[in-house]
Amino acid sequence: MLIFIIDDKIILELKAVENISSSHVKQTMNYLAASKMKLGLIINFGEDQLTYKRVLL
């Protein structure tokens, strides 16, 4: 797992897991709440295709 902060506005979380679960979304929500940012992106490279999930606080 890698986490990047882009332009002090977006938290970008890169993962290589079978699928994006609700626990991954909750973790990103916690990062957003702690940083007071509003947008997070979870990008998963572990599936057959690249998948992503947009998370808003």
pLDDT band at residue 1, thresholds of 50, 70 and 90? confident
- Res 49: pLDDT: 94
Q: What is the per-residue pLDDT across 4-57, written as a single tens digit (0 to 9) for each?
A: 999 999 999 999 999 999 999 999 999 999 999 999 999 999 999 999 999 998
| Residue ranges of domains in the chain | 2-56
Long-range pairs of 33-40 with CB within 8 A, sequence gap ≥ 24: 33/57, 35/5, 35/11, 37/5, 37/8, 37/9, 37/10, 37/11, 38/9, 39/9, 39/10, 39/11, 40/10, 40/11, 40/12, 40/13
pTM of the model: 0.90
